[in-house]
Structure 1
Amino acid sequence: MSSSFTDKINQKQSFMSLLPIFAFIKPYKLMVFYALLALLVTAAVNLSLGQGVKFVIDNGFIAGSETQLKTAIFALVILITLLAIGTFSRFYLMSWLGERVSADIRKAVFNQVIKLHPSYFEENRSGEIMSRLTTDTTLLQSIIGSSFSMALRSALMLIGGLVMLLITNINLTLWVVGFVPFILIPILIYGKKVRLLAANSQDAIADIGTYAGEIIQNIKVVQSYTHEETETVAFAGEVEKAFAVAKNRIKQRSLLIAIVIFLTFGAISIMLWVGGMDVLSGKMTGGELGAFVFYAIMVAMSVATISEVYGELQRAAGSATRLLELLEITSKIQTPEQPKDMINNHRNIIEFKNLDFYYPSRPNTAALKSLNLVIPKGKVIALVGPSGAGKTTLFELLQRFYDPQVGSVLFNNQNINELALNEVRQRMGMVPQHPVLFSSDVWHNIRYGDPTASDEAVIKAAKLAHAHEFIQQLPEGYNSFLGEQGVRLSGGQKQRIALARAILKDPEVLLLDEATSALDAESEHHVQAALEELMLNRTTLIIAHRLSTVINADLILLMEQGQIIAQGTHNQLIESSTLYRRLCELQFDNAGHRAEVS
């Protein structure tokens, strides 16, 4: 297969990727109709202007009639007024359509992203996803609202202009048509280069966003290690890479436009010479030549516009492909089509049966192996063991962020794969070791546990979490903005806000991942008291590295390398497990030593 034929196929496929975008335009058919109507009116008026020019020259200037000149000028003013009104309508309607469709695409992409399985975000950069959500949709908005309109208008003007050229003078029209192939060749050649460079440019912008986002997010680490200058140089390098790609793309587009304009107006210059000779010899009137020049310039400008818009459409095709790839991803974690009703009265609320699990990003390393576990309702279960033992993985499988490769997770004696995803997660409340807060006020962050909760319920939850006192001391109390990821709060304060959120949710199963690890001794004492009240008649799973916090748990599970190697109460494990006894000795001896030092 020849390379030129392959290029044509690739170009066709790239433009075909724009077709699904029209599904977002379909709901606004009436606006599209009015926009096309305005487009047709402006095109018709534009084409009529050439005849107006002919009439002014032949019946006004050359005929020497003042009355005819006034009539011709008046008709021209009416046409120009219609053109202005039509242009306003076309521009407004197409711009509105572009903004509306762009907003709909953004919502569709965000709705898709927010439901994707967590492993997708392990394998794909957040900066690239954000680039698709912002930069790519903005480009499509520009295409639909502006470039597409320009392409349609220019296509109509090109076809209409050629028709009017034929009507005005066939001989001169042949000169214009003869140059068309020479103009189309560079469009086809450089169009492919522009498309490839546009895709590279979008990727480079995504790289910049990812890099900058990571640095800003971890600004304290950067400044702590005095890496400001290093990161400045590194970021400048990323920007320069993107600029180099953009510069090459701009160069190719500029070259394309320049060649098209040169060839087009070169053809007009030759046509003017031939037409001028015909006027001098009496074969055509000055008005006919004026009208012909008007239509020739119109055709030339239409070709130049199409060549420019062609590059934009190539870029849009790349953006459409990236967005559609995202929209077509099927989440690996989904609610079944016909979920079973939740049972509430089973004695064992949670059960892990013959479980093997490998993270998608680490397919050769087992996070859990041959794990079996039964958790009775209303009990406090503690998970202890070294880092990487699989404790947090159990929490993630229980909330169905992942599905195990082997075995099953049961909730109330039902496989959670057969239950509605939202209902399973709604019955659980999670307080992570590193709490996540949103860039909003205190109300929003606590009420995230229950968006329908009253102010009184939010305050009550904050009091139970021992957060109410410090919240009142914030500049605007519960209305205080906490900054990105709660940057305005200390670690302990963030933890108590997260705990208040879980208390407000009032879940059936409480998941605590070192929930008191960031608290000082006094706050920990109060929060532990609140947790003990909260854990009454509620199933609670606690991940703990500080064994002193789980001595009174109903059952302690000792995990290592993805397996439960021992289980029992604190006293039972002290007697039966060498590893547990050693962990206790290390922690309690260190605690005693610290107490002596202090």
Structure 2
Amino acid sequence: MSVPNTQSTRAYTSLLPIFSFIKPYKWVAALALLALVVTAGLNLSIGQAVKFVIDSGFIAGSKEELTEAISGLILLISLVAVGTFSRFYLISWLGERVSADIRQAVFNQIVHLHPSYFEENRSGELMSRLTTDTTLLQSIVGSVLSMALRSSLVLIGGLVMLLVTNLKLTLIVVACVPVILVPIMIFGKRVRKLAENSQSAIADISTYAGEVIQNIKVVQSYTHEEREKGAFGGEVEKAFSVAKQRIKQRALLIAAVILLTFSAISAMLWVGGMDVLEGRMSGGELGAFVFYAIMVAMSVATIAEVYGELQRAAGATSRLIEILQIKSAIKDAAVPIEMKEGERTAIAFNNVGFNYPSRPDSAALQAINLRIESGKVVALVGPSGAGKTTLFELLQRFYDPQIGEIQRNGENIKSLSLADLRQSMGMVPQQPVLFSSDVWHNIRYGNPDASDEQVIEAAKRAHAHEFIEQLPEGYDSFLGEQGVRLSGGQKQRIAIARAILKDPELLLLDEATSALDAQSEFHVQAALNELMHTRTTLIIAHRLATVTHADMIVVMDKGRIVATGTHHSLLEESPLYQRLCELQFEKAKSGAV
């Protein structure tokens, strides 16, 4: 029995963090507990009312006493109804409130976690924890804990009343309790393990479905509909198989408890019936005893069922608390330094070396030394995997370098407030990210406090106002998931309008025109020129023709800076830059021919 007891203790211990979320609503919890105790007491009083009805009403043959007894019974039942309403409302409110708070706490934690966490954890699993696990906890706090407490009180109170009513019959009932608890311990352990597996299987389903839906055009273009249906069906069946085992174990648990419990009641009824026939107890006492025995039996059965739910909730709680206890690898400065303004050097990389956490043995950057002056346009060029995007990610402190330091306006970026650092930058990625909302929301993401006029002005400067006006509902038009209703060039101009509205000091451009047609490229490039005016700008350049007029071009290869200079000086001094130019310009000439 030691293993089940250990498992039980561990299960209940893992549920303890929930109470920290209940604490702010302790008065609601106290009122709910009071209603629960009063209701349990009233329920137990009904047994004495039953005894009075039988002995003073039916057996005594007195209409007055029967009427009085029935009236008292109705009053007790009415009070039970009022108490049950209060308990149910308060405990359900508490469950919904706590579930909402836990969901908010988990989400708040997720949005501040370092990006490397999301390289190792699937988004579908995180969504499952935010939805399925918190919903399960809502049912636990909102009903299961209430049922467990009520049943425990009724069980204890019922046993006391059984002792008061008849000692001999009570000993029969008590002797059966350990026999009933054995299957609870055995099956409860299995239910908890299967519940954890079931939640993981549901997370797998969510992840798989999310990826297919997000990439539905790719699925359909490769005519993989049937293949994906079969694969998803396999995930569903796997989850169902685990759920089926969990249901089977819970059903066996409940069935075993009911069988043992009511077998004990039947034996008790036979013994009690013999005592009534032989005059050793009254019919009212037997009726009350049967009432209490049934209440005790129902309480034990409820506890058995609740035990399985608590085991299941323990797994959900441990997964949620695991997220809440994660420490972000990117920590804000304890006492942030205010960012300076007007410094000549806007950015400085001092001997920076970096390895991605997911690839610790492969250096992404090595011995990076770079000075970028305020107001200059600097282009980063080089083959794929050279480390250009990594520089952007380090600059925004999505990661911290293992070696060296990065300075912003003369201060180590680790000493600056994360919010201030990132607020001073505006990022326009090659693949713009739009949200499932309207145009207002997507542009205003750059400055949530901006007025409608400021949003429209930003759209005009981004060469986006004209096509937005032609959308079915203009700026109120819903853009679909990830802006699916817009073309690539339109998405890019919305992203540029967002950056214009943010009005950053430092602009980070992952060249936005490489995958656009000529007309879209013209509009986007015009918008970028508007955005770059008077700002310090870093451009990841995939097409060298777009950055030939940059103030400085940084050539990177294999995580190192191999050359810096202007377009003309690099053509003379950098073999790698020469080769890149030859490949691109020759390709452009052959394409033109």
Q: Same fold (TM over 0.5)?
A: yes
- Helix, strand or coil at the partner of 1:24: helix
What is the distance in 2 between the residues matched to 1:116 and 1:432? 21
Q: Does 1:387 align with 2:384?
A: yes
Aligned to 2:468: 471
Q: 2:263 aligns with which of 255, 262, 266?
A: 266
TM-superposed CA distance for 1:490, in Å, is 1.1
TM-superposed CA distance for 1:369, in Å, is 0.8
TM-superposed CA distance for 1:595, in Å, is 2.1
What is the distance in 2 between the residues matched to 1:384 and 1:546? 9
TM-superposed CA distance for 1:537, in Å, is 2.0
Question: Quick check: 2:4–2:185 contact (8 Å CA) kept in 1?
Answer: no
Aligned to 1:91: 88
TM-superposed CA distance for 1:523, in Å, is 3.2
Where do 5+ consecutive residues of structure 2 fail to align?
A: none
Q: 2:126 aligns with which of 119, 125, 129?
A: 129
Aligned to 2:164: 167
Aligned to 1:541: 538
TM-superposed CA distance for 1:68, in Å, is 1.1
- Correspondence 1:507-586 to 2 at 5 A: 507-586=504-583
Q: Does 1:490 align with 2:487?
A: yes
Aligned to 2:315: 318
**What is the root-mean-square deviation of aligned Cα atoms in Å?**
1.0
Question: Quick check: 2:570–2:578 contact (8 Å CA) kept in 1?
Answer: yes
> How does the TM-score come out when normalised to structure 1?
0.98
What is the distance in 1 between the residues matched to 2:38 and 2:343? 72
What is the distance in 2 between the residues matched to 1:413 and 1:287? 90
Q: Does 1:301 align with 2:298?
A: yes
Aligned to 1:187: 184
Distance 1:195 1:183, change over 3 A: same
Question: Quick check: 1:508–1:538 contact (8 Å CA) kept in 2?
Answer: yes
Q: 1:374 aligns with which of 371, 386, 389?
A: 371
Q: Does 1:256 align with 2:250?
A: no
Q: 2:478 aligns with which of 456, 481, 496?
A: 481
TM-superposed CA distance for 1:386, in Å, is 0.8
Deviations 1:179-236 (Å, cap 9, x if unpaired)? 0110011111111111111111111111111111111111111111000000100000
What is the distance in 2 between the residues matched to 1:419 and 1:482? 36
Greater Cα offset, 300-309 or 536-545: 536-545
Aligned to 2:67: 70
Letter in 1 for 2:352: L
Aligned to 1:59: 56
What is the distance in 2 between the residues matched to 1:518 and 1:468? 22
Q: Does 1:286 align with 2:287?
A: no
Q: 1:214 aligns with which of 192, 211, 216?
A: 211
Q: Does 1:24 align with 2:18?
A: no
What is the distance in 1 between the residues matched to 2:534 and 2:466? 28
Where do 5+ consecutive residues of structure 1 fail to align?
A: none
Deviations 1:129-180 (Å, cap 9, x if unpaired)? 1111111111111000000000000001000100111111111111101101
Deviations 1:296-318 (Å, cap 9, x if unpaired)? 00000000000100011111111
Aligned to 2:335: 338
Q: Does 1:35 align with 2:39?
A: no
What is the distance in 1 between the residues matched to 2:533 and 2:511? 19
What is the distance in 1 between the residues matched to 2:535 and 2:274? 99
What is the distance in 2 between the residues matched to 1:14 and 1:284? 44
TM-superposed CA distance for 1:520, in Å, is 2.5
Q: 1:504 aligns with which of 497, 501, 504?
A: 501
What is the distance in 1 between the residues matched to 2:58 and 2:266? 24
What is the distance in 2 between the residues matched to 1:212 and 1:530? 37
Question: Quick check: 1:39–1:86 contact (8 Å CA) kept in 2?
Answer: yes
- Helix, strand or coil at the partner of 2:273: helix
Aligned to 2:450: 453
Aligned to 2:174: 177
Deviations 1:237-265 (Å, cap 9, x if unpaired)? 00111111110011001101101110000
TM-superposed CA distance for 1:17, in Å, is 1.2
TM-superposed CA distance for 1:587, in Å, is 1.6
What is the distance in 1 between the residues matched to 2:3 and 2:162? 36
What is the distance in 2 between the residues matched to 1:172 and 1:194? 33
Deviations 1:112-133 (Å, cap 9, x if unpaired)? 0000000000011111111111
What is the distance in 1 between the residues matched to 2:584 and 2:515? 17
- Helix, strand or coil at the partner of 1:324: helix
- Helix, strand or coil at the partner of 1:362: coil
What is the distance in 2 between the residues matched to 1:11 and 1:281? 45
- Helix, strand or coil at the partner of 2:538: strand
What is the distance in 2 between the residues matched to 1:470 and 1:595? 29
How many pairs are equivalent?
593
Q: Does 1:44 align with 2:45?
A: no
What is the distance in 2 between the residues matched to 1:188 and 1:162? 21
Q: 2:430 aligns with which of 420, 425, 433?
A: 433
Question: Quick check: 2:380–2:541 contact (8 Å CA) kept in 1?
Answer: yes
What is the distance in 1 between the residues matched to 2:539 and 2:225? 39
- Helix, strand or coil at the partner of 2:368: strand
Question: Quick check: 1:495–1:518 contact (8 Å CA) kept in 2?
Answer: no
TM-superposed CA distance for 1:48, in Å, is 0.8
Question: Quick check: 2:489–2:521 contact (8 Å CA) kept in 1?
Answer: no
TM-superposed CA distance for 1:6, in Å, is 4.2
TM-superposed CA distance for 1:509, in Å, is 0.3
- Helix, strand or coil at the partner of 1:334: coil
- Correspondence 1:110-129 to 2 at 5 A: 110-129=107-126
Letter in 2 for 1:84: A
What is the distance in 2 between the residues matched to 1:536 and 1:434? 22
- Correspondence 1:400-411 to 2 at 5 A: 400-411=397-408
Letter in 2 for 1:410: Q
Q: 1:223 aligns with which of 220, 223, 230?
A: 220
Letter in 2 for 1:160: G
**Sequence identity (%):** 72
Aligned to 1:108: 105
Deviations 1:412-451 (Å, cap 9, x if unpaired)? 1111011101100000000001110001000000000001
> How does the TM-score come out when normalised to structure 2?
0.99
- Helix, strand or coil at the partner of 1:17: helix
Question: Quick check: 1:464–1:527 contact (8 Å CA) kept in 2?
Answer: no
What is the distance in 1 between the residues matched to 2:137 and 2:509? 44
TM-superposed CA distance for 1:407, in Å, is 0.8
What is the distance in 1 between the residues matched to 2:341 and 2:2? 64
Q: 2:243 aligns with which of 242, 246, 259?
A: 246
Question: Quick check: 1:499–1:515 contact (8 Å CA) kept in 2?
Answer: no
- Helix, strand or coil at the partner of 1:529: helix
- Helix, strand or coil at the partner of 2:563: strand
